[in-house]
Amino acid sequence: MNLALWLDRAGRGDPNRPALGLGPRVLRSYGDMAGRVARLACALRGFGLDPGDRVAVVAKNSPDYVEVLYAIWHAGLAAVPANAKLHGAELGYILEQSGARICFASDGLDGEVAPHAPKSLERLVVIGGTEYEKLFASEPVAVVPRSGDDLAWLFYTSGTTGRPKGAMLTHKVLAAASAAYTAEVDTLLPGDPLLHAAPMSHGSGLYMMAYVMRCGVNVVPESGGFEPDEIFSQFRAWPRTSMFAAPTMVKRLVESAAECPSENIRTIIYGGAPMYVEDARKALDRFGPRLAQIYGQGESPMTITVLTKDEVACRGHPRWTERLASVGRPFRCVEVMVANGSDTPLPVGQTGEILCRGETVMAGYWRNREASEAALRGGYLHTGDVGAFDADGYLTLKDRSKDLIISGGSNIYPREVEEVLLKHAGVREASVIGRPDREWGEVVVAFVVGDAPAAELDALCLSSIARFKRPKDYVFVEALPKNNYGKILKTELRAVDGRRSTPRNGG
């Protein structure tokens, strides 16, 4: 089933119901949006694209983002949403690896994409530009039939090799994830709004389909970003609003002195990184029983475990604090187990790798059979995360076996930063770890063997990778700790970093 059918049906059955919002106002009804999407889909087919071809989206949050994604699906194509914060070289790799023939980019981001565009990219369209607006002059076409196993979304997530991998999310996967959201995270009524303050290329955007399915309203702040004062004004304008947020975003909302109409908030769904228990307590004090937590990955989008609003708010439970420190219990649509190195289930309380299988798990990694077989061996998604179940079935994350750093809700893999640092002639060795940080969750710290100036390393990183990935601190050492096999011992580096009292700041 093509996901675009949900929009097509809403456009026919509820044409006057609000579909898109910008700031405090309704921008499009479902009839208007469905018609625009059908015309844009016609223009895409006119470019000579065949069903299954990939179309990339490199864009900041906007109502156009929703229309472009649905036009891609309406035309029978597959979407490749890319993080708008990535460096042009990183975007170029995604465009080439995905084989995207068309790319829609926000005004300004086209200048980031163009110098790194591969030969396989045939057309770069600026959202809101003259060419873009002309595409809506096409005649509307019917939704192109797709099966549940056809590719809908290539979700690029970095791997331990430092190169992004495209998790293949099919129409069936996204439909199952949408149903799981409405069943277990946030009960929706027609007209309920979803506020997109987090990137629509990732967590926030993955929820838009559930709202179209239920005839809700996808709303974008006028700034397209996240500012607490603006978010609170959005809550005032849109009663019963829900929002996906990284824990750092929730923390900023809690600390804001602006007046917040908490009675207008339906649900704040936090995820992407663990939240400190004390921060969760403060959020409950500020907003009331309106917080829910999800744990998932791009490989099983937003649907591995859930800690419901009732569970987060249940202060009277004797194990409330422990549950608040967990990531909840498995969604009903998936099986989750904690296993040892042989993929054998471990008893309650024992720590091992978290494995998952079900309708929401990806079909594999795009054009990467080796990584697909490793991640999905035995029919389970191997998350690379380490955790343990308690006797009541609540899962607590213990560590990240892949050394993933989560800063402000964004994933950073050390290898890709290390490879950039090693390009400098003055760096002999480098190893990157995450340092706990109250505001960002973690910040990037680089241990360096060599005599390269920190300022030059900063400049090198800024020329090669996204700004949020560059180290916030450089620690210069004589040697890196290693085991008998020559593997760098990051556990020792973390211990050393924890003992340091006067870090050297790289600027």
> How many structural domains compose the chain?
2
Find the CATH number of the domain harbouring 447.
3.30.300.30
Q: How far apart are CA 456 and CA 468, in angstroms?
A: 17
Mark whether 316 and 425 lie in a shared domain.
no
Boundary of a domain, candidates 270, 298, 333? 333
Asked if residue 379 belongs to a domain, the reply is: no
pLDDT tens for the 507 residues of the chain, in order = 999 999 999 999 999 999 999 999 999 999 999 999 999 999 999 999 999 999 999 999 999 999 999 999 999 999 999 999 899 999 999 999 999 999 999 999 999 999 999 999 999 999 999 999 999 999 999 999 999 999 999 999 864 445 889 999 999 999 999 999 999 999 999 999 999 999 999 989 999 999 999 999 999 999 998 999 999 999 999 999 999 998 889 989 999 999 999 999 999 999 977 787 888 999 999 999 999 999 999 999 999 999 999 999 999 999 999 999 999 999 999 999 999 999 999 999 998 999 999 999 999 999 999 999 999 999 999 998 889 999 999 999 876 666 778 888 887 878 789 879 988 999 988 999 999 998 898 999 999 999 999 999 999 999 999 999 999 999 999 999 986 445 688 889 999 998 874 444 444
Residue 105 included in any domain: yes
Do 448 and 328 share a structural domain? no
Last residue of a domain, one of 285, 301, 333: 333
Neighbouring residues of 257: CB distance < 8 A, sequence distance ≥ 6: none
381 φ/ψ angles, rounded to the nearest 5 degrees: -75, 125
Clarify whether residues 314 and 453 are in a common domain: no
**What's the 3-state SS for 362-393?**
CCCECCCHHHHHHHCHHHCEEEEEEEEECCCC
Q: In this structure, what CATH number is given to the domain that contains residue 149? A: 3.40.50.12780
Q: Of the candidates 278, 311, 333, which is a domain's last residue?
A: 333
> How far is it, in rounded angstroms, from Cα 381 to Cα 373?
10
Q: Please check whether residue 353 lies inside any domain of the structure.
A: no
Contacts for 260-263: CB closer than 8 Å, 24+ residues apart: 260/232, 260/235, 260/286, 260/287, 261/232, 261/235, 261/236, 262/235, 262/286, 262/287, 262/288, 262/290
Rounded to 5 degrees, φ, ψ at 112 are -80, -35
**Residue 483's CB: how many other CB atoms inside 10 A?**
9
Kindly state whether residues 327 and 412 are assigned to the same domain: no
Judge if 172 and 293 occupy the same domain. yes
Give which of 328, 356, 329, 351 is closest to 340, Cα–Cα.
351
> Would residue 8 count as lying in a domain?
yes
What three-state secondary structure class fits 305? strand
- Tell me the pTM: 0.86
DSSP state of 461: H
**Sheet of strand 334-339, all strands in order from the earlier edge strand to the far edge:** 334-339, 352-358, 381-389, 395-400
In a domain, 345, yes or no: no
Same domain, 409 and 325: no
Measured between alpha carbons, how far is residue 347 from residues 168, 301, 325, 344, 387 in Å?
A: 32, 26, 20, 10, 12
pLDDT at 506: 44
* Interval 150-181: pLDDT, tens: 999 999 986 444 588 999 999 999 999 999 99
**Could you tell me if 300 and 438 lie in one domain?**
no
What pLDDT score was predicted for residue 484?
47
Same domain, 321 and 431: no
| Residue-level pLDDT at 485 | 45
Count of other CB atoms within 10 angstroms of residue 278: 10
Residue 391 lies in a domain: no
If asked whether residues 276 and 190 sit together in one domain, one would say yes
**Which pLDDT value is given to residue 160?**
41
Backbone angles phi, psi at 404, to 5 degrees: -60, 135
Same domain, 287 and 428: no
Tell whether 350 is covered by a domain.
Answer: no
DSSP assignment letter at 143: P
Full residue range of the structural domain in which residue 465 is found: 405-499
Domain presence at residue 344: no
Report pLDDT digits (tens) over 99-146: 999 999 999 999 999 999 999 999 999 999 999 999 999 999 999 999
Pair 320, 459 in one domain: no
Q: How far apart are alpha carbons 223 and 219 in whole angstroms?
A: 12
**264 plus 133 within the same structural domain:** yes
